[in-house]
Structure 1
Amino acid sequence: MTSGNNGASTPEDDDPFGYLYADGQANGAQPPSGGGYGYPNSVNRVRAVGQRQYGQPTAPTAPYGQAPQQQGAYGQPNAHYAAPETLPGGATTSRQPVQGGGGRGRGPNTKGLLIGAIAVVAAVVIGIGVAMLGGDSGNDDAGDGGATPTASQSAEPSTSPSASKAAQTELPKIDAKALNLAPGVTTASDVAGAAADGGVYVAGLNNVGASVTWTVDGIPEAGVYTLFAGYSVPGKDQSMTLTINGKVFGSKLNLGNFAAAAEGDYAKGWTQTYAYPSLNKGSNTISLSCQDGDQCDVLLDQLWLKAGQVKR
């Protein structure tokens, strides 16, 4: 047995590389030129892809080292391949012809989509507006029946914790003749215009140490009150010391010429002033006195109280 030939000339025994050996060449092995292994009468088993056609003549194989002949020009159908749908009983394509004239397909109806989108947005906006209006109405109803008042329902806050109860209570008021007078202080009614009963007023306060005292009962609760004083001055501003429960309140009680009376005209000088002392619940002592440095040329006719901090 030699290289390239195993004895029997069968396709299975052909050595495809026998022509490369000396003993193979001696047995007639040649380089392949017709598609075989190179031996004489060897079986040609190699075919180009798409070359074999059943029931048709076999196309000649190109010589070794040369490109096979093209079966058709570029763009032309190849004889070795046919689309399945062109064969009898082949599959049909799913592509449908586009309906419409002019050979141009119609795209989606974008105008209709835009109109629909605008309608949806408008409906949402209207719904939100209706919900907001309905929510406001519900809040108003709840506020009317609720325990917590709204800002518009709340009363103006009092400047004193005693205002709520004291405002419902008539607070004390005193005329000049009921005041407790210090020695040297008297009452009179010579000057017209006093508001006290009978036109009586307190005189003689224009001396250091002169004073009037009011012991007031019935204060409903502790807090800040307004103390009013009715008086007259002779066309000049005056000031005296105010004492609440034994303690001096503020600097001085302002007894100004608010009536703008001419100097010396007591009858035209009747007016009133006020202060905001803190009082205890029940009984309190209020005193108006002439101390060193005070201006005490004053006629005093009344004292009265109001709840909270007010001006009239």
Structure 2
Amino acid sequence: MTPGDNGASTPEDDDPFGYLYADGQARGAQPPSGGYGYPNSVSRVRTVGERQYAQPQAPYGQQQPTVPQQGAYGQSNAHYQAPETLPGGAQTSRQPMSPAGGGGRRGPNTKGLLIGAIAVVAAVVIGIGVAMINGNTDDDKSGNQADASPAQSQSTGPSPSNSASAPAGELPKTDAAALQLAGSAAKASDVKGAQAAGGTYVGGLNSVGSSVTWTVDNVPEGGAYTLLARFNNPGDDQSMTLTVNGQKFGKGFNLGNFTHQSDPTQAWTETYAYPTLNKGSNTISLSCQPGDKCNVLLDQLWLKKGKVGRS
């Protein structure tokens, strides 16, 4: 065999793509007449959508079975049967949809947000109130702070007790209207100028048996004291019996008209005596006895240590 033309039976003459090359075309290679460029292939022209795949072939002499066509999208196929409808098919159950307030995804909890907002506002208000209270407390401390102890109201009327005591280091003083009264002695306030509480004094002493009695407690020590009395006498000189701890003292308690006034409102004055008192409790009485002149008004009584005379 010589190089060059080896004849029509060479392998390259069997090349199905020889017509693509210049030397093949020179030798007269032609495109294959089969389909798709392959020898002996069959090209059949079909309408688009006509071709069917994987169709079972019926035996020779039998009619090709008809494959049911698939229904349009969204339409049920009459030949389709759900698995659960077949004997032994899968059992399925449809789960009910949860309501909006139940399981699954929930909407925003507006109630919780509202409660939270109210709590924040309440906390702010409480904080402001506490700050204001603390500020007022500081102002009270830095300014004129009021006395924490309540003020005690003083009685304007006479005390019902017939005893008297004074603070430590002081001797007692009392209104005559607060003492124990006997006989026709009575409280009055018609004549102005009395220094007792409410301007009340004791009158009605100008009758035998009338008296005022003073029980004095806490006399610091026994000895001589000065008993003073504020009274009113616009007329003749008067005198009453002084009794100390049940014993008559002296010749009488002098209640003269020392002011020399006939106007009762201008006749208020003082008198005194020097009784001897015991340590502790003592009873002092002024009474109208037979032979006494008792037409006076009695305002107040008080004691002083020793013999000191009038105020």
TM-score scaled to structure 2, two decimals?
0.45
Looking at CA atoms only, which structure, 1 or 2, has the larger radius of gyration? Answer: 2
TM-score scaled to structure 1, two decimals?
0.45
